[in-house]
Homo-oligomer: A and B are copies of this chain.
Amino acid sequence: MSKPKILIIGGGYGGMMSAVRLEKELGLNNAEITLVNKHNYHYQTTWLHENAAGTLHHDRTRIMIDDIIDTNKINFVQDTVVEIKKDEKRVILQNGELTYDYLVIALGSDPETFGIQGLKENAMSIRSINSVREIREHIDYNFARYNNEGQKQELINIVVGGAGFTGIEFVGELADRVPELCKEYDIPREKVRIINIEAAPNVLPGFDEELVEYAINNLERRGVEFLVNTPIKECNEDGVLLASGEEIKAATVVWTGGVRGNHLVEEAGFETMRGRVKVDKDLRMPGYDYIFVVGDCALIINEEINRPYPPTAQIAIQQAYTLARNLKTLINGGGKMEEFTFDNKGTVASLGKGEAIGVVGNKKLFGSTASAMKKVIDNRYLFLLGGVPMVVKKGKLKLF
């Protein structure tokens, strides 16, 4: 009897941790595991806003896949998934196709533009190494143009759409980066505008009010402007048009207003809500006992408040553990499947160098304490991914 084939599509938090956990849980003789990813590197999505602002180099954020998995035990295919053939147990790639007995869908997210006109075409988004280094260079370039092209104000206006987690963390990094850019290009700091626009009445919806106030005060003091209750009607080449009719001209518009599940899931014919699949408790696709979904494509209800958990790195990583054990059970002939439960270890939002806010357990954290906790969380993931050597290699360590 041939070994069952497990195919993991996507190398983000969910897919990568699935590969790592399956490598640990299953022996070489039990299954043939293949990971498909667009790039030969994995990256930490939760650090991308720093790369986009230019406060951390993107090479710090990415990790070569063969530094994480043992490619003698897991096949790695660098290719782009173009279609999931769910009933034929095949996945079509740009340069080929693969078959599977078990499929792990870990394709991540697409930006959610809520139908705002021109957003997809004219706004940039924080979503990959390729996209964030373009954002960094886009900002640099427009600052460089300022004194050489008649000091047009729009060149140094930066609009950030969305004041959720990514939006707030991004403007926090920009507040650190802009003074450096001003020095580099001879621009007075007070000329530069960083404008965070949010349709909802508050920034960081769902977050503790005291912490939100701390964040806003901190960021405003560092030169960030907030426009809440302010829906964007349209994004065009010149900037954004607000629902009020006001126009804000800006060479740089970055959209952080939300994500939806990867479009390939919907296109494969699965039932989705904003691109996400409401998975069974054992993380399987309803009706497909050989397909698992983890990460941003998986929708799991927080029964305490009867609303979905937001898609985070934390939940994706935890799902990978459950998934690996359940796949082991299946391959070993079946038995009782484990139900996934989310163990919220806390949330910390960085506001820039040495500044953050967070909740861990029922404790609120501010400033440098929260910032230190953020680094602990980042390093913990690296530990799960590749043990101490990975923390040493890629961690955010303060060595003195």
A→B interface (CB under 8 Å): 128, 130-131, 133-134, 136-138, 140-141, 143-145, 147-149, 184-185
Contact = CB atoms under 8 A, between A and B. Distances in A.
A144 B133 CA distance: 6
A155 to B, nearest CB: 11
A143 B128 CA distance: 16
B144 A137 contact: yes
A144 B148 contact: no
25 contacts: A128-B148, A130-B147, A130-B148, A131-B148, A133-B144, A133-B148, A133-B184, A133-B185, A134-B141, A134-B144, A134-B145, A134-B148, A134-B149, A136-B144, A137-B137, A137-B140, A137-B141, A137-B143, A137-B144, A137-B145, A138-B141, A138-B144, A140-B140, A140-B141, A141-B141
Contacts of A133: 144, 148, 184-185
A contacts with B: majority SS: helix
Contacts of A145: 134, 137
A148 to B, nearest CB: 4
A133 B183 CA distance: 13
A157 to B, nearest CB: 17
A243 B212 CA distance: 62
Nearest to A185: B133
Contacts of A137: 137, 140-141, 143-145
Contacts of A143: 137
Contacts of A184: 133
Nearest to A183: B59
A283 B161 CA distance: 60
A84 B143 CA distance: 32
A141 B135 CA distance: 9
Contacts of A148: 128, 130-131, 133-134
Nearest to A145: B134
Given A131-B148, A136-B144, 18 more contacts: A128-B148, A130-B147, A133-B148, A133-B184, A133-B185, A134-B141, A134-B144, A134-B145, A134-B149, A137-B140, A137-B141, A137-B143, A137-B144, A137-B145, A138-B141, A138-B144, A140-B140, A140-B141
Contacts of A131: 148
A141 B252 CA distance: 13
Contacts of A149: 134
A140 B145 CA distance: 13
A144 B51 CA distance: 13
Nearest to A149: B134
Nearest to A136: B144
A4 to B, nearest CB: 35
A185 B136 CA distance: 12
A245 B379 CA distance: 58
A149 to B, nearest CB: 8
